[in-house]
Structure 1
Amino acid sequence: MILIFKHIFPKRYVGLTFWPLIILKEDKLKDDEVLINHERIHLKQQLELLIIPFYVWYLTEWVVGIFKFRDLNLAYRNISFEKEAYKNENNLNYLSNRNSYAFLKHF
């Protein structure tokens, strides 16, 4: 399910996934196949880690990255879940061929 909430996003962010929802900044983003694919990759990651552990792992990687890189965006871009999603967001068939726990290759 896709929801639109314009006022919860920092400037550079346009979407997020919070199981089982994809939340977008603008209605027109529903047509962005690459963005939707990116967020669907996150849905798959969340499901395979049974949702709550995904968020704990995600937050842990981000906080460690903040200390490691001293940069919020660089910390975000180095989260294994984000690396997998960004690397494969243009492959609209990725989820049909994705191996379980594929994010571990980026850890």
Structure 2
Amino acid sequence: MILIFKYIFPKRYVGLTLWPLIILKDGSLKKDAILINHERIHLKQQVELLILPFYLLYIMEWLIGLCYYGNFVEAYRNISFEKEAYQNEWNLNYLKERPRWHFLKYVF
């Protein structure tokens, strides 16, 4: 399910996935197939980890990255879940081909 809620986003961000929702900053973004694919990759990751552990690992990776890089954006870009989503968002068939637990490839 896709919801539009523009008031929760910092200026650089346009989408957020909170199981089972994809939340977008603007209704026109529903037509952005790449963004929607990116967010659907996160939905798949969340299901694989039974939702709550996904969020715990996501926050833990971000905090470790923040200590390591000293930069919010750099820490975010180096979260394994984000690496997988960004590197595969252009492949609209990715979720059909994606092996289970594939985000682990991006951890190390």
TM-score range (shorter-chain normalised) is: over 0.9
RMSD of Structure 2 on Structure 1 (CA): 0.2
Name the structure 2 match of 1:100.
100
Deviation at 1:5, TM superposition (A): 0.4
- Secondary structure of residue in 1 paired with 2:16: strand
Query: Does residue 49 in structure 1 map to residue 13 in structure 2?
Result: no
Name the structure 1 match of 2:79.
79
Hey, which bits of structure 1, 4+ residues long, moved more than 6 A? none
Distance 1:93 1:45 in 2: 16
Give ranges in structure 2 of 5+ residues lacking alignment.
Answer: none
Amino acid at match of 1:35: L
Give ranges in structure 1 of 5+ residues lacking alignment.
Answer: none
Deviation at 1:11, TM superposition (A): 0.5
TM-score for the superposition, normalised by structure 1:
1.00
Deviation at 1:51, TM superposition (A): 0.1
TM-score for the superposition, normalised by structure 2:
0.99
Deviation at 1:104, TM superposition (A): 0.4
Aligned length in residues: 107
